[in-house]
Amino acid sequence: MAHEAASSEAPLTASGFRARKGAAPLVCVTAYDAPFARLAEEAGVDGILVGDSLGPNVLGHTRELHVTVDDIVHHAAAVTRAVTAPLVLGDLPFMSYATLDDALHNAARLVRDGGVAAVKLEGGAEVAAITEGLTSRGIPVMAHVGLTPQSVLATGGYVAQGVNLEGAQRVVDGARAQEAAGAFAVVLEAVPARLASVVTERLAIPTIGIGAGPNCDGQIQVLHDLLGLAFRPPPRHAHRYADLAGATRDALTQYRDEVAEGSFPSAEHGFKIRRGVIDRLSFD
Ligand code: KIV
Protein backbone atom coordinates (compact mmCIF):
# COMPACT_ATOMS: atom_id res chain seq x y z
CA MET A 1 0.00 0.00 0.00
CA ALA A 2 1.32 3.44 -0.90
CA HIS A 3 0.71 4.69 2.63
CA GLU A 4 2.92 2.01 4.17
CA ALA A 5 5.70 2.84 1.75
CA ALA A 6 5.48 6.54 2.63
CA SER A 7 5.33 5.75 6.35
CA SER A 8 8.65 3.94 6.28
CA GLU A 9 10.37 7.24 5.43
CA ALA A 10 12.05 9.23 8.19
CA PRO A 11 9.93 12.20 9.24
CA LEU A 12 10.94 15.54 7.74
CA THR A 13 12.04 17.82 10.58
CA ALA A 14 11.89 21.60 10.70
CA SER A 15 15.65 21.77 10.21
CA GLY A 16 15.42 19.36 7.27
CA PHE A 17 12.69 21.56 5.84
CA ARG A 18 14.87 24.64 6.24
CA ALA A 19 17.80 22.87 4.59
CA ARG A 20 15.69 22.45 1.45
CA LYS A 21 16.06 26.19 0.69
CA GLY A 22 16.97 26.59 -2.96
CA ALA A 23 16.57 22.87 -3.70
CA ALA A 24 13.42 21.13 -5.00
CA PRO A 25 10.27 23.14 -4.21
CA LEU A 26 8.71 22.36 -0.83
CA VAL A 27 5.13 21.21 -1.34
CA CYS A 28 2.74 21.88 1.51
CA VAL A 29 -1.00 21.55 1.95
CA THR A 30 -3.45 21.89 4.79
CA ALA A 31 -5.23 18.86 6.22
CA TYR A 32 -7.47 18.51 9.23
CA ASP A 33 -8.23 14.81 9.56
CA ALA A 34 -6.66 11.38 9.20
CA PRO A 35 -7.97 10.31 5.76
CA PHE A 36 -6.92 13.45 3.93
CA ALA A 37 -3.61 13.61 5.80
CA ARG A 38 -2.90 10.02 4.73
CA LEU A 39 -3.75 10.87 1.12
CA ALA A 40 -1.49 13.94 1.26
CA GLU A 41 1.34 11.75 2.52
CA GLU A 42 0.69 9.21 -0.22
CA ALA A 43 0.88 12.05 -2.75
CA GLY A 44 4.33 12.86 -1.38
CA VAL A 45 3.80 16.31 0.14
CA ASP A 46 6.59 17.66 2.33
CA GLY A 47 4.51 19.55 4.86
CA ILE A 48 0.97 19.31 6.25
CA LEU A 49 -0.44 22.33 8.06
CA VAL A 50 -3.32 21.92 10.47
CA GLY A 51 -4.23 25.52 9.78
CA ASP A 52 -6.87 27.73 11.29
CA SER A 53 -8.51 27.53 7.85
CA LEU A 54 -10.04 24.54 9.70
CA GLY A 55 -12.69 27.05 10.85
CA PRO A 56 -14.21 28.05 7.51
CA ASN A 57 -13.44 24.77 5.71
CA VAL A 58 -14.45 22.14 8.25
CA LEU A 59 -16.08 23.61 11.34
CA GLY A 60 -18.63 25.79 9.59
CA HIS A 61 -17.30 29.11 10.90
CA THR A 62 -17.28 32.19 8.71
CA ARG A 63 -13.70 33.07 9.64
CA GLU A 64 -10.46 31.73 11.06
CA LEU A 65 -10.93 33.99 14.10
CA HIS A 66 -13.31 31.51 15.75
CA VAL A 67 -10.84 28.65 15.86
CA THR A 68 -9.49 27.68 19.29
CA VAL A 69 -6.38 25.92 20.53
CA ASP A 70 -8.59 22.95 21.47
CA ASP A 71 -9.82 22.76 17.86
CA ILE A 72 -6.29 22.68 16.46
CA VAL A 73 -5.10 20.16 19.05
CA HIS A 74 -8.02 17.83 18.32
CA HIS A 75 -7.52 17.91 14.53
CA ALA A 76 -3.72 17.88 14.72
CA ALA A 77 -3.86 14.70 16.79
CA ALA A 78 -5.92 13.05 14.04
CA VAL A 79 -3.41 14.15 11.40
CA THR A 80 -0.30 13.14 13.31
CA ARG A 81 -1.77 9.71 14.10
CA ALA A 82 -2.16 9.16 10.35
CA VAL A 83 1.18 10.20 8.85
CA THR A 84 4.88 9.65 9.32
CA ALA A 85 6.96 11.30 6.62
CA PRO A 86 5.69 14.89 6.20
CA LEU A 87 6.46 17.70 8.60
CA VAL A 88 3.18 18.37 10.44
CA LEU A 89 2.65 21.91 11.66
CA GLY A 90 -0.14 23.33 13.81
CA ASP A 91 -1.43 26.88 13.60
CA LEU A 92 -1.40 28.93 16.77
CA PRO A 93 -4.91 30.42 16.47
CA PHE A 94 -6.14 33.96 17.04
CA MET A 95 -4.99 35.45 20.37
CA SER A 96 -3.33 32.23 21.49
CA TYR A 97 0.10 33.90 21.39
CA ALA A 98 -0.77 37.39 22.61
CA THR A 99 1.87 37.03 25.33
CA LEU A 100 4.94 34.81 25.48
CA ASP A 101 3.40 32.85 28.36
CA ASP A 102 0.29 32.17 26.25
CA ALA A 103 2.45 31.22 23.27
CA LEU A 104 4.60 28.80 25.28
CA HIS A 105 1.60 27.21 26.96
CA ASN A 106 -0.42 26.83 23.74
CA ALA A 107 2.48 25.76 21.52
CA ALA A 108 3.37 23.11 24.10
CA ARG A 109 -0.23 21.84 23.88
CA LEU A 110 0.02 21.59 20.09
CA VAL A 111 3.27 19.65 20.40
CA ARG A 112 2.37 17.48 23.40
CA ASP A 113 -1.32 16.77 22.74
CA GLY A 114 -1.52 17.39 18.99
CA GLY A 115 1.79 15.74 18.13
CA VAL A 116 2.94 18.49 15.75
CA ALA A 117 6.63 19.03 15.02
CA ALA A 118 6.35 22.80 14.54
CA VAL A 119 3.90 25.66 14.96
CA LYS A 120 2.94 28.53 12.68
CA LEU A 121 2.06 32.02 13.81
CA GLU A 122 1.00 35.12 11.93
CA GLY A 123 2.81 38.43 11.98
CA GLY A 124 6.19 40.01 11.37
CA ALA A 125 8.27 42.31 13.53
CA GLU A 126 5.46 42.78 16.07
CA VAL A 127 5.56 39.09 17.06
CA ALA A 128 9.29 38.47 16.55
CA ALA A 129 9.81 38.31 20.32
CA ILE A 130 7.22 35.51 20.52
CA THR A 131 9.03 33.57 17.79
CA GLU A 132 12.33 34.11 19.61
CA GLY A 133 10.81 32.88 22.88
CA LEU A 134 9.38 29.74 21.26
CA THR A 135 12.40 28.82 19.17
CA SER A 136 14.84 29.40 22.04
CA ARG A 137 12.81 26.87 24.05
CA GLY A 138 12.92 24.27 21.31
CA ILE A 139 9.65 24.80 19.44
CA PRO A 140 10.24 25.37 15.70
CA VAL A 141 8.23 28.26 14.27
CA MET A 142 7.05 28.92 10.74
CA ALA A 143 6.17 32.60 10.33
CA HIS A 144 3.39 34.00 8.12
CA VAL A 145 3.39 37.52 6.65
CA GLY A 146 1.48 39.37 3.93
CA LEU A 147 -2.23 38.60 4.16
CA THR A 148 -2.76 37.29 7.67
CA PRO A 149 -6.37 36.08 8.15
CA GLN A 150 -6.20 36.56 11.93
CA SER A 151 -5.83 40.34 11.34
CA VAL A 152 -8.76 40.83 8.94
CA LEU A 153 -10.67 42.97 11.45
CA ALA A 154 -7.77 45.42 11.50
CA THR A 155 -6.68 45.20 7.87
CA GLY A 156 -10.16 45.39 6.39
CA GLY A 157 -10.47 42.00 4.73
CA TYR A 158 -8.84 39.32 2.65
CA VAL A 159 -6.92 41.66 0.32
CA ALA A 160 -3.49 41.45 -1.28
CA GLN A 161 -0.67 42.98 0.75
CA GLY A 162 2.64 44.58 -0.20
CA VAL A 163 1.42 46.30 -3.35
CA ASN A 164 2.71 49.78 -2.44
CA LEU A 165 6.07 50.81 -0.94
CA GLU A 166 4.83 50.97 2.64
CA GLY A 167 3.10 47.59 2.40
CA ALA A 168 5.98 45.94 0.55
CA GLN A 169 8.46 47.25 3.13
CA ARG A 170 6.24 45.82 5.89
CA VAL A 171 6.42 42.41 4.23
CA VAL A 172 10.23 42.65 3.87
CA ASP A 173 10.72 43.86 7.46
CA GLY A 174 8.34 41.27 8.85
CA ALA A 175 9.98 38.37 7.05
CA ARG A 176 13.46 39.53 8.04
CA ALA A 177 12.46 40.07 11.68
CA GLN A 178 11.02 36.55 11.79
CA GLU A 179 14.15 35.08 10.24
CA ALA A 180 16.31 36.91 12.78
CA ALA A 181 14.04 35.64 15.58
CA GLY A 182 14.69 32.05 14.55
CA ALA A 183 11.76 31.11 12.28
CA PHE A 184 12.74 28.15 10.08
CA ALA A 185 10.49 29.25 7.19
CA VAL A 186 8.01 31.97 6.35
CA VAL A 187 4.68 31.87 4.54
CA LEU A 188 4.12 34.75 2.12
CA GLU A 189 0.38 35.08 1.52
CA ALA A 190 -1.25 37.18 -1.22
CA VAL A 191 1.75 39.35 -2.07
CA PRO A 192 2.94 40.30 -5.56
CA ALA A 193 5.12 37.67 -7.23
CA ARG A 194 7.98 40.13 -7.78
CA LEU A 195 8.05 41.07 -4.12
CA ALA A 196 8.00 37.38 -3.14
CA SER A 197 10.92 36.75 -5.51
CA VAL A 198 13.16 39.38 -3.96
CA VAL A 199 12.25 38.30 -0.42
CA THR A 200 13.04 34.70 -1.41
CA GLU A 201 16.44 35.77 -2.79
CA ARG A 202 17.33 37.76 0.31
CA LEU A 203 16.27 35.35 3.05
CA ALA A 204 18.30 32.33 4.14
CA ILE A 205 15.13 30.49 5.22
CA PRO A 206 12.59 29.05 2.77
CA THR A 207 9.64 31.14 1.67
CA ILE A 208 6.39 29.25 1.22
CA GLY A 209 4.00 31.05 -1.08
CA ILE A 210 0.24 31.12 -1.26
CA GLY A 211 -0.77 33.65 -3.84
CA ALA A 212 2.84 34.81 -4.02
CA GLY A 213 3.91 33.57 -7.45
CA PRO A 214 6.09 30.70 -8.61
CA ASN A 215 9.49 31.85 -7.31
CA CYS A 216 9.08 31.02 -3.64
CA ASP A 217 10.99 28.06 -2.20
CA GLY A 218 7.71 26.19 -1.83
CA GLN A 219 3.96 26.48 -2.07
CA ILE A 220 1.09 25.87 0.30
CA GLN A 221 -2.59 25.61 -0.55
CA VAL A 222 -5.77 25.02 1.39
CA LEU A 223 -6.84 21.41 0.74
CA HIS A 224 -10.53 22.25 0.31
CA ASP A 225 -9.73 24.80 -2.41
CA LEU A 226 -7.69 22.20 -4.34
CA LEU A 227 -10.41 19.56 -4.07
CA GLY A 228 -13.51 21.66 -4.75
CA LEU A 229 -14.80 21.25 -1.20
CA ALA A 230 -14.77 24.86 -0.05
CA PHE A 231 -18.41 25.78 -0.88
CA ARG A 232 -17.40 29.30 -1.88
CA PRO A 233 -15.73 30.80 -4.93
CA PRO A 234 -12.06 29.74 -4.86
CA PRO A 235 -9.52 32.46 -4.07
CA ARG A 236 -7.66 33.83 -7.09
CA HIS A 237 -4.48 31.97 -6.18
CA ALA A 238 -6.09 28.53 -5.92
CA HIS A 239 -6.54 25.95 -8.65
CA ARG A 240 -9.28 23.34 -8.32
CA TYR A 241 -7.66 19.99 -9.16
CA ALA A 242 -10.78 17.93 -8.43
CA ASP A 243 -14.50 18.31 -7.81
CA LEU A 244 -14.96 16.19 -4.72
CA ALA A 245 -18.12 18.07 -3.75
CA GLY A 246 -19.65 17.06 -7.09
CA ALA A 247 -18.41 13.47 -6.83
CA THR A 248 -19.70 13.19 -3.25
CA ARG A 249 -23.08 14.70 -4.14
CA ASP A 250 -23.44 12.27 -7.06
CA ALA A 251 -22.50 9.27 -4.91
CA LEU A 252 -24.90 10.20 -2.11
CA THR A 253 -27.71 10.88 -4.57
CA GLN A 254 -27.18 7.44 -6.12
CA TYR A 255 -27.17 5.85 -2.64
CA ARG A 256 -30.41 7.63 -1.71
CA ASP A 257 -32.04 6.59 -5.01
CA GLU A 258 -30.98 2.93 -4.65
CA VAL A 259 -32.29 2.72 -1.08
CA ALA A 260 -35.52 4.42 -2.14
CA GLU A 261 -36.08 2.04 -5.07
CA GLY A 262 -34.94 -1.07 -3.11
CA SER A 263 -31.88 -2.02 -5.17
CA PHE A 264 -29.52 -1.43 -2.24
CA PRO A 265 -28.63 -3.39 -0.20
CA SER A 266 -28.59 -6.53 -2.32
CA ALA A 267 -27.68 -10.12 -1.34
CA GLU A 268 -23.95 -9.50 -1.81
CA HIS A 269 -23.99 -6.92 1.02
CA GLY A 270 -25.64 -9.28 3.53
CA PHE A 271 -24.83 -12.18 5.85
CA LYS A 272 -26.19 -15.75 5.84
CA ILE A 273 -27.83 -17.36 8.87
CA ARG A 274 -27.40 -21.07 9.63
CA ARG A 275 -30.09 -23.43 8.33
CA GLY A 276 -33.07 -23.89 10.70
CA VAL A 277 -32.25 -20.99 13.03
CA ILE A 278 -35.11 -18.76 11.84
CA ASP A 279 -37.64 -21.58 12.41
CA ARG A 280 -36.50 -22.06 16.01
CA LEU A 281 -36.61 -18.37 17.02
CA SER A 282 -39.00 -17.44 19.82
CA PHE A 283 -40.82 -14.11 19.98
CA ASP A 284 -42.85 -15.04 23.08
O1 KIV B 1 -4.67 28.24 7.99
C2 KIV B 1 -4.20 28.11 6.86
O3 KIV B 1 -4.68 27.33 6.04
C4 KIV B 1 -3.04 28.92 6.50
C5 KIV B 1 -2.54 28.79 5.10
C6 KIV B 1 -3.40 29.63 4.22
C7 KIV B 1 -1.12 29.16 4.98
O8 KIV B 1 -2.54 29.63 7.29
For 131, residues 6+ apart whose C-beta sits below 8 A from its C-beta are 121, 141, 143, 178, 181, 182, 183
Give catalytic residues, as residue numbers: 189
pLDDT profile of the chain (284 residues), mean per 10: 50 98 96 98 98 98 96 98 98 98 98 98 98 98 97 89 97 98 98 98 98 98 98 91 98 98 96 97 96
Q: What pLDDT is stored for residue 157 in this prediction?
A: 83
Task: Output the pLDDT for position 8.
Answer: 56
pLDDT of residue 232: 87
The answer for residues whose C-beta is within 8 angstroms of residue 84's C-beta and 6 or more apart is: 6, 7, 8, 9, 11, 41
Residue nearest to atom 8 of ligand 1 (CA): 51
pTM (predicted TM-score): 0.94
Per-residue model confidence (pLDDT) at position 215: 97
Q: Is 187 in the pocket of ligand 1 (CB under 6 A)?
A: yes
Ligand 1 pocket test: which of 91, 142, 188 has the largest number of ligand atoms within 8 Å of its C-beta?
91
What is the reported pLDDT for 9? Answer: 75
Helix axes 100-112, 69-82, angle to 10 degrees: 30
pLDDT of residue 26: 98
How far is the C-alpha of 214 from the C-alpha of 217, rounded, in Å?
8
DSSP bridge pairs for 30:
49
Any atom of ligand 1 within 6 Å of the Cβ of 30: yes
Burial of 134 (0-12, 13-18, 19+ CB in 10 A): buried
The closest residue, in CA terms, to atom 1 on ligand 1 is 51
Pocket of ligand 1 contains residue 179 by CB under 6 Å: no
Ligand 1 atom having least distance to the Cα of 57: 3
Amino acid 2: pLDDT: 38
The pLDDT assigned to 233 comes to 86
